[in-house]
Structure 1
Amino acid sequence: MITSRAWNGKRYVVLGLARSGAAVLNALMESGARVVAWDSDATRVADVKAHFGAQDDPAGEGMNFLHSGARLEIVDPMGLDLSAFDALVVSPGVPLNTHPLAAKARDAGVAVIGDIELFAQSRAELRPHKVVGITGTNGKSTTTALVHHILQTAGVPSLMGGNIGLPILEQEPLPEGGVYVLELSSYQIDLTQTLDCDVAVLLNVTPDHLDRYSDFQAYADSKARLFAMQSPEHEAVIAIGDAASAQIARGLSARGEHLTKIAPGVCMDQSRWPSLQGPHNAQNALAAISVCQALGVSEADIDRGLQSFKGLPHRMEQVGVVNGVAYVDDSKATNPESTAPALAAFSRVHWIVGGRAKGDDLDACRPAFGHVVRAYTIGEAGPVFAAVLEGDMPVERAGTLAEAVNSAAWQAKAGDTVLLSPAAASFDQFRDYEHRGQAFKDAVGALQCKTGQ
């Protein structure tokens, strides 16, 4: 794991003990910090106690673990004087705009940070390396994985981390010359103060997460902070296909040759990149190419990486073909802007859409409505989305994902595509988008068993 002498003896509150929070806790303890940890989920608290072999301490003085200076106390920090701590470290899922502990820390003048900021603080002790930070409303996971894959293809040591689901602190440090490739959500950027990326990337900014921000401009400003933390001689790569991203790029115009702008609608030959189809993946590929060129990767290695990239689960992933009908899992598309390019990528689509909506419209998808043969609405947003779509296409109010798959399988013809691209979050019926995607795969698998394909 990644540790730092700078954390030794310092005092931290760690709020949230899911995967990234657990990685933070382990790294701080291994570094000799004094930590108060807490999670509202009793199961996670129990897991931490079991991991460290902790026992309840009647004296309320915590327990010592790992090093003589490391100390862990598991207690709800709302009753503590936070001014005695060096920082409150929260998981990205903690809403900074509404959580009372975040407000209490700010009132006490205590920094509120996340795991990416701790990584930034540890960099001086790591072997010489570079960091790529990739953000955007859509496409950042694919672009992060693609950059990592190209670097691996070129023989460059690299690690993925961040919002892609791999906490960076739990991974072993890279050898000299390695590259850390970080997917960064706006939440993670909000919790970061000193991350100076050697290459920073912005793919797009479209309305999302507005429950966490006062307005869209505040959300865009969060994305822009990735570049504000950069040294001006480091590389910035920005796709300027939307107004907010173009405005951020204009603000960096003084960087000259250290700023690369990716214009929309660039025509590319994607025929040799089977997992990078559609206009959105052309943009992702251009961003990855720009990053790798900035890192000194050869054109031959970049080309080999683009050709051999396999894509990511739940992102335009073909999971089966039954009776000539392709089934594509795009469960990661949790807003209309990320669904729109998926609809545009296929000529005849049976569209499974719905979940917990982030808004009441599907306007971003409208240019590709002509590709939809039939829509099948599911989840909480099903009735609202059905009402929006019924004037433009045949709509079936399926309700559940299983019903939608079965109905689409009955009505689709050879050459059609059954596409799960929900344009909504998953939390009404599933744990997360991965659970939803797996349910889709299971339903397709059941169809294959029935037909023997």
Structure 2
Amino acid sequence: MIPVSGFEGQSVAILGLGRSGLSAARALEAGGATPVCWDDNASARERAEAEGFEVRDLARAGAFEGIAWLVVSPGIPHLYPTPNKVVAAAWEAGVPVDNDIGLFFRSFGSGEWDMYDQPPRVVAVTGSNGKSTTSALIHHVLSEAGKSVQLAGNIGRGVLDIDPPKDGGVVVLELSSYQTDLARALTPDIAVFTNLSPDHLDRHAGMGGYFAAKRRLFAEGGPDRAIIGVDEDEGRYMVNQLTHGAADDRVIRISAAGKLSGPGWNVFARKGFLSEYRKGRQAGSIDLRQIAGLPGAHNHQNACAAYAACRALGLAPRMIEDAFHTFAGLPHRSQRVGEKDGVSFVNDSKATNVDAALKALMAFDNIRWICGGLEKEGGLDALRPALDRVAKAYVIGREAAQFALQLDGCAGEVCTTMAEAVARASAEAEAGDTVLLAPAAASFDQYDSFEKRGDDFIAEVRKVLG
């Protein structure tokens, strides 16, 4: 646990008692503060009371009397589409609003560090797609290299649940826009931006607000090294904002769209090969085509980001390459479930938006595509470049018929349920086909999470595999 500093003897309110909320309460108490907790869910309040925390309705009049700080869980809107009533009450009471990420960064340092040969470092990864795989890949490479490393944030453990880092230790954080948007302290040593595509637009009032939330990690975080995906205009803009000239190698540009040139530090993937160039000279290369845990161009972008982060931490190219070959990938992200009679089954339930689904589709040929769910803003037109790879779409979800109508030019069948979709796709698949779950939609019309949706796909596929 990382005890939260700066609130000794003070009361700190916590709104939302999920994983991050209860973790924050424990860490605040460990640092000498008195947590005051609230959640609209009665069972969540009961869990907090069972741990001995005070529970108080923070929406009632006068609830913020004597409160020094408010910590808000990431799922609770603090501004758009409308501020939560408790957040608005904190504003009126003049109480600063923060989240567990802000508490982590203000409390991460320790007096013990004076005795360390190498102070611990934080690598923070954000972006629309690929941040989980990139974070996990960095963690895996560092672990294989014998480093003391912990994975936390939007993946793995809560940020305040990790152990105090050891001499030379590294903490790898995956950070969503919900987390970077509100944190009052953001001070990573290395910050990674993978890419940007429309997502969570209601929480950020459009693309501008969404990008601004991601950009805070760099503009306000002031990392020593920034690793920026430049395959979108937003990444190119951010590179220009952060550099002091073309040769400034404090910024590492990464791309999976083509070769990068110039005197700076560049890492790119082209035709399945990762290349590193620094000061105009090649410094490393990896053949990514035979790395089973990183299929497709989207994973090659993740590989570039992870490679750049590990190089910035001082690892040699060969050490990184060896670790890439032992990376098994993450569940629900281009996860190969099995094969039967020449037909492969791949679970990419994490492809909850159109951009992620497009990248998943571009990684395979002859696809039996299971898609559909709670559609996000923007429609499905961006998927058209990949539809020639799709032999047939099998659409699930409560609005499956409406979803299917948007797949103009693509053979489709409304299946509604996962069981029917897997059964139909596997029955019609031929040797060389891939049955791919890449929904291009959220899961909440039928499942509690994309993980539950992926688990259902796996369960149905295992029936087929026998």
TM-score, shorter chain, exceeding 0.5: yes
Residue number in structure 2 paired with 1:66? none
Backbone CA RMSD of aligned residues: 1.5
Counterpart of 1:262 in structure 2 is 254
Partner of 2:282: none
Question: Is residue 211 of structure 2 the alignment partner of residue 220 of structure 1?
Answer: yes
Contact 1:329–1:421 (CA<8 Å) still a contact in 2? yes
Secondary structure of 2:288 counterpart: coil
Unaligned runs of 5+ in 1: 55-71
* In the alignment, structure 1 residue 176 sits paired with structure 2 residue 176: no
Which residue is equivalent to 2:262? none
Letter in 2 for 1:34: T
Conserved? CA contact 1:83–1:110, under 8 Å: no
The 1-side partners of 2:48 and 2:54 are apart by: 11
Instruction: Give 1 or 2: higher helix fraction.
Output: 1
**Counterparts of 1:322-337 in structure 2 under 5 Å?**
322-337=340-355
1:74 aligns with 2:64: no
The code of the aligned residue for 2:242 comes to L
The CA distance in 1 between the partners of 2:399 and 2:180, in whole Å, is: 30
Alignment map for 1:39-78 (pairs within 5 Å): 39-50=39-50, 52=51, 54=52, 72-78=53-59
Match of 1:120?
Answer: 105
**1:105-137 CA deviation, whole Å, 9 max, x = no partner?**
223332211111111011222642000010000
Of 87, 93, 112, the match for 1:102: 87
The one-letter amino acid of 2:97's match is: V
Q: Is residue 193–residue 229 contact of structure 1 (8 Å, CA) maintained in 2?
A: no
Alpha-carbon distance, 1:366 to partner = 1.5
Q: Secondary structure at the match of 1:418?
A: strand
SS in 2 for 1:383: helix
How does 1:370-385 map onto structure 2 within 5 Å? 370-385=388-403
Letter in 2 for 1:239: G
* Separation of aligned partners in 2, 1:89 and 1:15: 6
Aligned counterpart, 2:144: 153
CA distance in 1, matches of 2:67, 2:37: 12
Which of 81, 87, 90 is matched with 2:69 structurally? 87
In the superposition, relative to structure 1, how do residues 271 and 360 fare at CA in structure 2: closer, same or farther (>3 Å)? closer
Whole-Å Cα distance in 1 between the matches of residues 156 and 43 of structure 2? 20
Q: 1:446 to 1:130 in 2, by over 3 A?
A: same
Q: Distance in 2 between matches of 1:242 and 1:327?
A: 31
Report the AA paired with residue 206 of structure 1: S
Are 1:238 and 2:228 counterparts? yes
Figure out how many residues of one structure are paired with residues of the other and give that number: 428
Equivalent runs, 1:1-16 vs 2, <5 Å:
1-16=1-16
Preserved contact between residue 360 and residue 385 of structure 1 (Cα < 8 Å): no
Question: Contact 2:419/2:460 (CA < 8 Å) preserved in 1?
Answer: yes
Contact 1:202 1:239 in 2 (8 A): yes
Tell me, which stretches of 5 or more residues in structure 2 are unaligned?
114-118, 259-268, 274-286
CA distance in 2, matches of 1:171, 1:196: 17
Is the Cα–Cα contact under 8 Å of residues 10 and 86 in structure 1 kept in the other structure? yes
The Cα offsets for residues 406-452 of structure 1, whole Å up to 9 and x where unpaired, read as: 11011111111100100111111001011001000110111122xxx
Residue in structure 2 matched with residue 67 of structure 1 by the alignment: none
Native 8 Å contact 2:101 2:185 kept in 1: no
Deviation at 1:153, TM superposition (A): 0.8
Q: How does 1:392-431 map to 2 (within 5 A)?
A: 392-431=409-448
CA distance in 2, matches of 1:141, 1:403: 30
Please report how far the alpha carbon of residue 365 of structure 1 lies from its aligned counterpart in structure 2 after TM superposition.
1.8
Give me the whole-angstrom Cα distance separating, in 1, the residues matched to 2:240 and 2:399. 37
Aligned to 2:265: none
Q: Which residue of 2 aligns with 1:251?
A: 241
Instruction: Kindly indicate whether the alpha-carbon contact (under 8 Å) linking 1:360 and 1:384 is maintained by their aligned counterparts in 2.
Output: no
The question of 1:345 aligning with 2:363 is answered yes
- 1:282 match: secondary structure: helix
Q: 1:312 aligns with which of 330, 336, 348?
A: 330
Secondary structure at the counterpart of residue 82 of structure 1: coil
Alpha-carbon distance between aligned partners in 2 of 1:414 and 1:94, rounded to the nearest angstrom: 47
Q: Aligned to 1:191, which of 182, 186, 201?
A: 182
Q: Which amino acid aligns with 2:441?
A: A
Report if aligned partners of 2:369, 2:437 keep a CA contact under 8 Å in 1. Answer: yes
Contact 1:140 1:183 (C-alpha < 8 Å) held by counterparts: yes
Assess if the C-alpha contact under 8 Å between 1:324 and 1:414 holds in 2: yes
| Structure-1 separation of matches of 2:375 and 2:399 | 6
Q: CA deviation at 1:360?
A: 5.1
How many angstroms does 1:363 deviate by?
2.3
How many angstroms apart in 1 are the aligned matches of 2:191 and 2:178? 16
Q: Please tell me the residue identity of whatever aligns with 1:416.
A: D
Q: Is contact 2:36-2:55 (8 Å) kept?
A: yes
Query: 294, 308, 317: which one pairs with 1:290?
Result: 308
The alpha carbon displacement at 1:147 in A equals 0.4
Of stretches 132-141 and 206-215 in structure 1, the one that deviates more from structure 2 is 206-215
- Give the TM-score taking structure 1 as reference length: 0.91
Whether 1:142 and 2:139 are equivalent positions in the alignment is: no
Percent of aligned positions with the same letter in both sequences?
43
Cα shift at 1:5: 4.0
Which residue is 2:28 aligned to?
A: 28
- Quote the residue 1:447 is aligned against: 464
Q: Which moved more, 1:108-117 or 1:369-378?
A: 108-117
- 3-state SS of paired residue (2:244): helix
Q: What whole-Å deviation, never above 9, does each CA across 1:146-165 have from its counterpart, x for those lacking one? A: 00001001111111111114
The alignment partner of 2:26 has SS state of helix
Aligned to 1:386: 404
TM-score in terms of structure 2 length = 0.89
CA distance in 2, matches of 1:192, 1:381: 36
Give the counterpart letter for 1:351 in structure 2: W
Q: Distance in 2 between matches of 1:322 and 1:358?
A: 33
Q: Which residue of 1 aligns with 2:281?
A: none
Q: Secondary structure at the match of 2:202?
A: coil
Deviation at 1:341, TM superposition (A): 1.2
Give SS of 1:357's match.
coil
* In 2: Cα distance, 1:372 partner to 1:322 partner: 19
